[in-house]
Structure 1
Amino acid sequence: MTAQHCQACFENIVAKVGPYHERGEWTEIDGRKTYVTGPKTADRGILYIYDVFSFQPQSLQGADILAYSASKPCFVVMVDWFNGRAIQHEWVDPNNQEGRKLMLQFVETTASPTLVLPSVSEVLGKFKSIYPGVKQWGGSAQSSPARLDPEEAKSVTIPMALLAPTGEDKTVVKQYGENVHGEKHVEIFSSQIHGWMSARGDLENPDVRSEYERGYKTLIGFFDKYL
């Protein structure tokens, strides 16, 4: 099957949240703006791949949670894969047809996996030389997947976490989980919208904040177990 972007990816608005003061620091790696957070003594690392809105308070806070709430030290790195570009908040409106065209263009070009994935491999290779103390790198977790393809899951043999929101096709989520050959954690957060753990999470809403934190706590448990 050919995976298509879910409608919520184009329609759920980006939540406005108050300022967040990052615990990490900004640097440049391979010419890309990069956020690094977590104890420098950590021997394991997580590569955090943001969504199409690039660096946002919710994602930066999530990176800090992963880095400092784990049971053992963890180093987290978030790289600007889009070279300063991102989907603009005002494009996300079901009544904004021009915005929708711009979003489609962005996800099919700048954010295309065929363009981004080679960069991920290259940058990860540089991480290993820049941070030699990190012996293991992980990133095998998805929240609010936009293109979930059960056929693709058949090639996954490492531990995989999949946290899906409401609106996802439950059958597809179930099939994806069944097709992952390695250890897995598959869960649907039925009260949350697409993107609740990143740019669309309204952290001023106590219910969303609670599930946002539970989502990251779930990932912490997953990485503590398998990384």
Structure 2
Amino acid sequence: MSFITACCNTVPVKGNYTPTGTTYTNNQMTYYIVGDKGAKRGVVFVYDIFGLHPNAYQVADLLSNTGLRVIIPDLLEGRPLTENDMGKPEVFAEFRAKRGTWEYNKDKIQASVRVLHSEGTESVGTIGLCWGAKLSLVALGDAKIGVKSVALVHPSLLTTKDFASVLGPVLLLPTKDEGDFSEGFALVKSGPYGGDSYEERLMDMFHGFCGARGDFSNPDIARNVDRVIALAASFFNKTL
């Protein structure tokens, strides 16, 4: 499975947002964390290929307003893909083969789960956008990571095998641009976590709308971002 065309060619917007949370560094890893420190439910937010874009902060803050403690690990270590990388297949191929892999990022995601638990969070899920959805889904299939459910928003790179390996419920929110995930999601629905799993395709939205490619000042996009937040909040309230 490769990145979809829209992911490789669509540039990020120029976001303008002031985050409400805290950024800090621990063991050479930078984190953004927001929400009630006493929250019993927490979420690791795995951003898209544009990293700590203003929209990533804003979505994390919106999620935290629903009662979740939200942490964003800077997996790309201050080196996200940029507008200049769009339309360059070799850049995406290298990203996918090296620092975009599960092996490169799994320890960072597990460390983020531990941060939340160290604060008193009892149950942790993940939410991922684009490439981040791939990492989030794989995390749900690795018992060592310790996440209990996952929300996937305009995902890239997902395979049927990823769905077959999950150890918890899945919220799947593709747009008109992503492919058909019916075979993989059917495996989830027919398994032990199917009852709490849900799919909704946002047909009037495009790949990246809830991340760095979305103009949140556009009423239609803002409404759909709010829809994602509401669905994710309800899902995590039920599954964490």
- TM-score range, shorter-chain basis? 0.7 to 0.9
- For residues 39-58 of structure 1, what are the structure 2 equivalents within 5 Å? 39-58=36-55
Cα contact 1:30–1:123 (8 A) shared by 2:
no
SS of residue in 2 equivalent to 1:213: helix
Question: Offset at 1:60?
Answer: 0.7
SS of residue in 1 equivalent to 2:208: coil
SS of residue in 2 equivalent to 1:162: strand
Matched, 1:206 2:193: no
> Paired residue for 2:11?
13
SS of residue in 2 equivalent to 1:144: strand
- For residues 138-177 of structure 1, what are the structure 2 equivalents within 5 Å? 138-139=125-126, 140-169=150-179, 172-177=180-185
Q: How many equivalent pairs are there? A: 212
Cα contact 2:208–2:214 (8 A) shared by 1:
yes
1:215 is matched with which residue: 223, 228, 237? Answer: 228
Matched, 1:4 2:14: no
- For residues 3-152 of structure 1, what are the structure 2 equivalents within 5 Å? 3-17=1-15, 19-68=16-65, 70=66, 73-92=67-86, 94=87, 99-129=88-118, 131=119, 133-139=120-126, 140-152=150-162
Q: What is the CA–CA distance in structure 2 between the aligned matches of 1:127 and 1:217, rounded to whole Å? A: 22
Q: What is the CA–CA distance in structure 1 between the aligned matches of 2:74 and 2:214, rounded to whole Å? A: 20
User: Larger relative CO (CA 8 A, sep 6+): 1 or 2?
Assistant: 1
SS of residue in 1 equivalent to 2:108: helix
Range moving further from structure 2, 172-181 or 187-196: 172-181
Relative to structure 1, is the Cα distance of residues 106 and 4 closer, same or farther in structure 2, using a 3 angstrom cutoff?
A: closer
Question: Offset at 1:210?
Answer: 1.1
Q: What is the CA–CA distance in structure 1 between the aligned matches of 2:92 and 2:215, rounded to whole Å? A: 21
Q: What is the CA–CA distance in structure 2 between the aligned matches of 1:107 and 1:89, rounded to whole Å? A: 17
TM-score in terms of structure 1 length: 0.87
Relative to structure 1, is the Cα distance of residues 40 and 190 closer, same or farther in structure 2, using a 3 angstrom cutoff?
A: same
Query: Deviating runs (4+, > 3 A) in structure 1?
Result: none
> Paired residue for 2:132?
none
Q: What is the CA–CA distance in structure 2 between the aligned matches of 1:156 and 1:5, rounded to whole Å? A: 21
Question: Offset at 1:144?
Answer: 1.2
Matched, 1:189 2:209: no
Identity across matched positions, percent: 25
Structure 1 residue identity aligned to 2:45: Y
Question: Offset at 1:126?
Answer: 4.5
Per-residue CA distance 1:122-150 (angstroms, 9 max, x = gap): 44234433x1x111111111111111212
Question: Offset at 1:88?
Answer: 1.0
SS of residue in 1 equivalent to 2:181: helix
Structure 2 residue identity aligned to 1:178: A
CA RMSD of aligned residues (A): 1.6
Question: Offset at 1:10?
Answer: 0.3
Cα contact 1:151–1:176 (8 A) shared by 2:
yes
SS of residue in 1 equivalent to 2:75: coil
TM-score in terms of structure 2 length: 0.82
